[in-house]
Structure 1
Amino acid sequence: MNAKSVLRWILLVAVFGSVGFYLYERPDQAMADGNPAKSDVSAAQVVVTYFTTDVRCDSCRTIERLSRQAIEEGFPEQVASGLVAFRVLNTDRPENEHFLDDYEIANKTVIVSHQVAGAETEWTDRQDVWLLLDEPDEFLAYVREPVRQYLGED
């Protein structure tokens, strides 16, 4: 191989590596796949939302994973029936920016919202999820507690 061929291969690897990294770091597609349809959310009695941004660290991904686990494993029948819904929303998207003011969000967080006839009646900010990242059992219980309360299970 001559120097020109080596340089061509280096450039190709750099370009494809950059594209791969960009696609891996983009949360939009992954979040869209995990979100229920809007009609599913509007019919739910409890909506659990993880609010994130375009920039996501390992802790952010852990919060999303554990929050999803808390809901899907803690309330499988209610999720299947549409009574409870989990979603991920990116507040860097223009259509979601209003949630920053609606819930007084200053950082990535989990909001548990109680819905009656499609209208929100109350909500709870589970902002301490950041403190429970290394304690998964406590994290799961912390996220599930207001869901149980809103479902009348407490």
Structure 2
Amino acid sequence: MNTILFKTFILIITGLSLNLCFSPLAMAAALPADTSAKTPPVHRVVVYYLHNTFRCSSCNSIGNLTQAAVLGGEVENLETGEESRVAPAFQHFVDQEKLSFSFVNVDEPENHHFLQNFQTSSKFPVIAEIKDGEILRFKVLDRVWRLLEGENSRFISYIQQNVHDFFKNL
């Protein structure tokens, strides 16, 4: 806030010394937008889906089902081919930017650290509690491959229960 006041003061002084007249709207437009509302909270939960560049249909399904379990959305059952809708179970956390989902291609050099941070190979969802940019705890959801066959509801329940447990202990 002090920076904005200082910049406004400088604009006014500069304008007066040059015999210019600035309207308040013109001065406000010249100031940088307040970006503080766009920064994520310092304490949050992130669900990552770690994958390789090449993904088989099972890998794609794990990523899509995990994303739907966290954010809601359309999913396809591998066995029946039928599509169903998953309701967003954590919308209030997503809206508050306390929960997010991210696909992470660990074949890209800038993402290699995820494998070391989470002590895993790729092709797994990982839930991580992050505070001030530091990973406090994480869980590799390694049961997804066994739950992939059968009903999507078991897979989605597994993901959602683990996310819920993370928020319970936040």
Q: TM-score, normalised by structure 2?
A: 0.62
Return the offset for 1:59.
0.5
1:152 corresponds to 2:168? yes
Query: For residues 72-151 of structure 1, what are the structure 2 equivalents within 5 Å?
Result: 72=71, 73-134=88-149, 135-151=151-167
State percent identity of aligned pairs: 28
Cα pair 1:44 1:84 within 8 Å, conserved: no
Local SS of the residue matching 1:74: coil
Return the offset for 1:119.
2.2
Give the number of equivalent residue pairs. 116
1:57 corresponds to 2:56? yes
CA distance in 2, matches of 1:52, 1:42: 26
CA distance in 2, matches of 1:43, 1:140: 27
Q: TM-score, normalised by structure 1?
A: 0.68
Comparing both structures, which one devotes a greater share of its residues to helix? 1
Post-superposition CA distance 1:95-148 (Å, at most 9, x none) = 001111221222310000012343221100001111111231111111112211
CA distance in 2, matches of 1:125, 1:40: 26
Residue 97 of structure 1 aligns with an amino acid whose one-letter code is H
Cα pair 2:41 2:98 within 8 Å, conserved: no
Q: Which has the larger radius of gyration?
A: 2
CA distance in 1, matches of 2:113, 2:154: 30
Structure 1, unaligned runs of 5 or more = 1-38
Structure 2, unaligned runs of 5 or more = 1-37, 72-87
Cα pair 1:46 1:113 within 8 Å, conserved: yes
